Amino acid sequence: MVAPPGRWSVALAGALPHNGVVETNSTMLPWPWRAYKSPRGLSPPPREAGVVGGNVVGGVGATPVHIPGEGQGCPSGGPFLQGRHARHAWDQRISERHEVTDIERVGVVGCGQMGSGIAEVCARAGLDVMVAETTGEALELGRTRLANSLGKAAERGKITENERDTTLDRLAFTTDLGDFADRDLVIEAVIENEQVKTEIFQVLDQVVTRPDAVLASNTSSIPLVKLAVATSRPDQVIGIHFFNPAPVQKLVEIIPALTTGDETIKRAEAAVTGILGKHTIRAQDRSGFVVNALLIPYLLSAVRMFESGIASREDIDNGMELGCAHPMGPLKLTDLIGLDTVASVADSMYAEFKEPLYAAPPLLQRMVDAGRLGRKAGAGFYAYS
């Protein structure tokens, strides 16, 4: 994909702040798409619609449609489709969507950084979304985060005010997982803790009534098979791993456990591409999957470098931003991801592979102990107001 410096490297870093230095609109659904989409279904773009263009991979509705293998010459990374071609692409999209119309009601467990982003992506795609948190206070925080994110998207002209409002209307909030009974797909996005996640999967197994519902985890590193065998339906459990911030980042890793059935993989992949308009890659159920297996050792190396006094945090970050065109240096990125999440992912990867590179440096753990979890806590390697 050809894009100006500071854009292509977004995919490299795997995470960006909403208000960060670099923005990509590559996965944001541009304004016209909602005009052609009813709240609970799709309607085609009018035949007189001229250019249906852009660079959304697997976009829906009148969004730019990227056909894999085509459009390599387009600077935005996708073809600009016109007239008959747009219609053809639309029809293809409809038939893909048709395969996955049985996923209309989504449940998201956890409304932190990732849960709120995933809920936003799903609601913006027209799905009915129920979000669960442990307490009313956490729920209120999550709801505010989500409303702010949609508000910013409207302010920046990514969505209209009407789209913001209809998206909010598709979101419901609860502190009772029992409310997930009618969900077709549940995406768990709570803290990176195996015991907490396992308990949630046990509860979901009890409460979700649809016999073939897909039960997914957004875990960054916990083996999916451990969550799968905690349920009575291990063939329906799968990893659907979004990136931060979920409304912006194009990639989703699909991680089948050894027990996951083919039908579950197919439905999960079709929902993520056909409905949510994301690009998927598949990874085996090995701690860290693809992206974190590469990213985490790099982040840990930066923490070690800072800890040993080789360079200041600013110089480490500037080194990678200005020397390697990364949109964000590794310490800023660690702050964005959350130091607790990075430490937990490192622990899971170390437990799996026993590679010294995956061992969390003492400073990281001490900062977690001190509550300096990064952006979400207001302080990490940097301070945030």
Ligand X SMILES: NC(=O)c1ccc[n+]([C@@H]2O[C@H](COP(=O)([O-])OP(=O)(O)OC[C@H]3O[C@@H](n4cnc5c(N)ncnc54)[C@H](O)[C@@H]3O)[C@@H](O)[C@H]2O)c1
Active-site residues, by number, are 220, 241, 253, 292
Decide: is 133 part of the binding site for ligand X (CB under 6 A).
yes
Whole-number minimum distance, CB 145 to ligand X, in Å? 9
Residues 215-254 within binding reach of ligand X (CB under 6 A): 218-220, 241-244
Token pair of 263 as six digits: 């039908």
Decide: is 337 part of the binding site for ligand X (CB under 6 A).
yes
Nearest residue (CB) to ligand X, 42 versus 119: 119
Decide: is 341 part of the binding site for ligand X (CB under 6 A).
yes
Nearest residue (CB) to ligand X, 33 versus 173: 173
CA 278 to chain centre: 9
**Residue closest to ligand X (Cβ):** 112
Q: How many chain residues interact with ligand X (CB under 6 A)?
A: 30
**Residues 8-47, mask of contacts with ligand X (x by CB under 6 A):** -------x--------------------------------
Token pair of 319 as six digits: 């080194």
Decide: is 283 part of the binding site for ligand X (CB under 6 A).
no
Count of Cβ atoms closer than 10 Å to residue 19 Cβ = 7
The answer to whether the bond into 245 is cis (omega within 30° of 0) is yes
Count of Cβ atoms closer than 10 Å to residue 97 Cβ = 18
Four-residue CA torsion sign, 155, 158, 160, 165:
negative
Count of Cβ atoms closer than 10 Å to residue 322 Cβ = 10
Count of Cβ atoms closer than 10 Å to residue 223 Cβ = 20
Nearest residue (CB) to ligand X, 25 versus 134: 134
**Contact present, 60 and 36 (Cβ < 8 Å):** no
Decide: is 192 part of the binding site for ligand X (CB under 6 A).
yes
Tokens 């073809």 belong to which residue? 79
**Residues 103-132, mask of contacts with ligand X (x by CB under 6 A):** ------xxxxxxx----------------x
Residues 193-222 within binding reach of ligand X (CB under 6 A): 196, 200, 218-220
Token pair of 33 as six digits: 């798409």
Phi, psi (rounded to 5 degrees) for 101? -65, -10
Amino acid making up residue 38: S
Whole-number minimum distance, CB 129 to ligand X, in Å? 15
Nearest residue (CB) to ligand X, 53 versus 297: 297
Token pair of 147 as six digits: 């409303």
Q: Which residues bind ligand X (CB under 6 A)?
A: 15, 109-115, 132-134, 138, 142, 189-192, 196, 200, 218-220, 241-244, 337-338, 341, 376
